[in-house]
């Protein structure tokens, strides 16, 4: 079967009809205030289309990882309030998932309005490994929509989860693909099926173990694999270099050696930093030194030095490679961008993507937060993913439950 689109649902008619939408409102909070509203903004177009055609929209979403019980610090209220500020349609908020508040507000919801339910993960059945428990929650959610409800999945960031609001609900209600999910899938297809060459992949972040499967799957497609962030120290250690007190996954060194060897066979060039910004401590006010990547112990901090960013020469070399790309995918910051002293690598990579004439994709999660924190606009790039882990699993070649169920 082919996936049914949002346009098909609208053409079928939604005026006065309840539509249950799984959105991605999993945004970072700072003292109860939304710190990055990128995902909220990205959720609005699908909701707007439904509202404009008279639907009664009920939004399900999660925030953080509560333990299956209500926890005020994970309340969706701040995200719902921000949605209400940004959106041109009215937004109400239910104090529970499928309780009295949800039923009362859903029952009185006017056509062309949006109701956001409380954090779906406050109900332990959402993430249960027990199929019957998840299905029971899905049925209660469907019960909010009356006799003619529909379901739209617009939360690409959750499609890798076999959860009640992502998977089971799509087996109960007529299910459709939201525009955001559709766009994400089309972009990821461009990265995996027939990318325009040269294809440059930039990977960063803290742990190489998080990116191993992505490296393995993209190595045969990419022309260049640029590696920075905390994960680079495992690559440097695999080359026999001393990395001081930097983040190191010793148990992955042999696997990385294998990748470095195999890359030559498949025609993919690993590009590693030639210089590193080393600090005496992990702090914004740390003392820093820039040293060769193959001689980190030469820093004035000796064996206690911590690598926290790629150096300026490496950043310039990375930018040059990015500039040559027709397709560029970036996931993971080059250093601890939250501290100004270690933000140059990430800023330089972001600027290179902005300046590139190729198709540029910024992976979700920390990469998306980094570019916004550093003053870049979403429009500076070909696409900023909302996916995070879901994007990586797609790039690994995995089947994602939330997409699979839409094809059934």
**β 33-34/150-153 pair status:** unpaired
Tell me if 121 is assigned to a ligand binding site. yes
pLDDT tens, residue by residue, 42-60: 999 999 999 999 999 999 9
Compare 94 and 209 and report the one with higher pLDDT: 94
Active site residue 389: yes
Tell me if 203 is assigned to a ligand binding site. no
- How far is Cα 205 from Cα 67, in angstroms, rounded to an integer? 26
Task: Name the token pair of 245.
Answer: 């007190």
Residue 330 has pLDDT above 90, yes or no: yes
| Cβ proximity of 215 and 351 under 8 Å | no
* Alpha carbon 194 to its chain's center: 22
Active site residue 125: no
Compare 274 and 1 and report the one with higher pLDDT: 274
How much is the average pLDDT of 206-217?
A: 88
Tell me if 229 is assigned to a ligand binding site. no
The 8-class DSSP code of residue 203 comes to E
Task: Using pLDDT thresholds of 50, 70 and 90, give the confidence band for residue 281.
Answer: very high
Distances (CA, A) of 342 to 156, 170, 335, 338, 353: 31, 44, 6, 8, 19
- How far is Cα 392 from Cα 395, in angstroms, rounded to an integer? 5
Bridge partners (DSSP) of residue 329 are 201, 361
Catalytic residue among 39, 49, 125, 321: 39
Tell me if 367 is assigned to a ligand binding site. yes
Tell me if 363 is assigned to a ligand binding site. no
Catalytic residue among 99, 143, 323, 389: 389
In this prediction, residue 387 carries a pLDDT of 80
- How far is Cα 291 from Cα 289, in angstroms, rounded to an integer? 6
Catalytic residue among 205, 228, 365, 387: 365
In the chain, pLDDT over 70 holds for what percent of residues?
100
Residue 233 has pLDDT above 90, yes or no: yes
The mean of the pLDDT values for the chain is: 94
In this prediction, residue 392 carries a pLDDT of 87
Catalytic residue among 207, 255, 281, 373: 207
| Cβ proximity of 62 and 121 under 8 Å | yes
- How far is Cα 139 from Cα 105, in angstroms, rounded to an integer? 18
Residue 389 has pLDDT above 90, yes or no: no
Instruction: Specify the DSSP element, H or E, that contains 225.
Output: strand 224-227
In this prediction, residue 89 carries a pLDDT of 95
Sheet arrangement for strand 306-310: 288-292, 275-279, 306-310
Active site residue 375: no
In this prediction, residue 164 carries a pLDDT of 98
pLDDT tens, residue by residue, 347-371: 999 999 999 999 999 986 788 888 8
In this prediction, residue 88 carries a pLDDT of 95
Active site residue 207: yes
Task: Using pLDDT thresholds of 50, 70 and 90, give the confidence band for residue 1.
Answer: low
Instruction: Specify the DSSP element, H or E, that contains 275.
Output: strand 275-279
Question: Helix, strand or coil for residue 215?
Answer: helix
Residue 266 has pLDDT above 80, yes or no: yes
Bridge partners (DSSP) of residue 20 are 58, 151
How much is the average pLDDT of 194-200?
A: 95
φ, ψ of residue 33 to 5 degrees: the values are -115, 140
pLDDT tens, residue by residue, 153-181: 999 999 999 999 999 999 999 999 999 99
Residue 5 has pLDDT above 90, yes or no: yes
In this prediction, residue 165 carries a pLDDT of 98
In this prediction, residue 366 carries a pLDDT of 80
In this prediction, residue 317 carries a pLDDT of 98
Tell me if 338 is assigned to a ligand binding site. yes
Tell me if 353 is assigned to a ligand binding site. no
How much is the average pLDDT of 311-316?
A: 98
Task: Using pLDDT thresholds of 50, 70 and 90, give the confidence band for residue 378.
Answer: confident
In this prediction, residue 364 carries a pLDDT of 67
In this prediction, residue 169 carries a pLDDT of 98
Tell me if 25 is assigned to a ligand binding site. yes
How much is the average pLDDT of 71-100?
A: 97
| Cβ proximity of 243 and 237 under 8 Å | yes
- How far is Cα 128 from Cα 139, in angstroms, rounded to an integer? 15
pLDDT tens, residue by residue, 106-155: 999 999 999 999 999 999 999 999 999 999 999 999 999 999 999 999 99
| Cβ proximity of 34 and 72 under 8 Å | no
- How far is Cα 95 from Cα 116, in angstroms, rounded to an integer? 9
């Amino acid at each position: 079967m082919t996936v049914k689109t949002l346009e098909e649902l609208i053409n079928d008619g939604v005026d006065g009809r309840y539509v249950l939408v799984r959105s991605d409102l999993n945004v970072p909070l700072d003292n109860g205030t939304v710190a990055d509203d990128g995902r909220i903004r990205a959720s609005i177009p699908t909701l707007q289309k439904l509202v404009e055609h008279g639907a009664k929209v009920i939004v399900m979403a999660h925030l953080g990882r509560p333990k299956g019980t209500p926890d005020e610090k994970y309340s969706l209220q701040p995200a719902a309030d921000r949605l209400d500020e940004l959106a041109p349609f009215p937004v109400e908020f239910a104090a529970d998932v499928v309780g009295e508040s949800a039923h009362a507000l859903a029952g009185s919801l006017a056509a062309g309005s949006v109701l956001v339910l409380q954090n779906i993960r406050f109900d332990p059945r959402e993430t249960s490994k027990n199929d019957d428990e998840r299905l029971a929650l899905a049925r209660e959610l469907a019960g909010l929509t009356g006799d003619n409800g529909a379901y739209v999945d617009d939360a690409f960031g959750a499609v890798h989860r076999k959860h009640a609001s992502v998977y089971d609900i799509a087996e109960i209600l007529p299910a459709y693909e939201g525009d955001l999910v559709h766009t994400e899938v089309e972009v990821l297809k461009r990265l995996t099926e027939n990318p325009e060459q040269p294809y440059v992949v930039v990977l960063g972040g803290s742990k190489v173990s998080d990116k191993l499967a992505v490296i393995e799957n993209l190595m045969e497609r990419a022309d260049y694999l640029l590696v920075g962030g905390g994960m680079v120290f495992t690559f440097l250690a695999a080359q026999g270099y001393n990395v001081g007190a930097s983040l190191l996954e010793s148990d992955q060194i042999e696997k990385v050696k294998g990748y470095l060897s195999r890359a030559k066979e498949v025609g993919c060039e690993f590009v590693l930093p030639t210089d590193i910004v080393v600090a005496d401590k992990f702090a914004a006010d740390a003392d820093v030194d820039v040293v060769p990547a193959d001689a980190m112990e030469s820093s004035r901090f000796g064996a206690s030095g911590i690598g926290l960013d790629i150096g300026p020469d490496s950043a310039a070399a990375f930018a040059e490679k990015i500039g040559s790309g027709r397709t560029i995918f970036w996931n993971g910051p080059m250093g601890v961008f939250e501290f100004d002293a270690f933000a140059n690598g990430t800023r330089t990579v972001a600027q290179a993507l902005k300046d590139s004439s190729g198709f540029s994709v910024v992976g979700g999660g920390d990469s998306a937060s980094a570019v916004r924190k550093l003053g870049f606009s979403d429009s500076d790039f070909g696409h900023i993913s909302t996916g995070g882990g879901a994007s990586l699993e797609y790039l690994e070649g995995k089947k994602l439950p939330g997409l699979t169920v839409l094809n059934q």
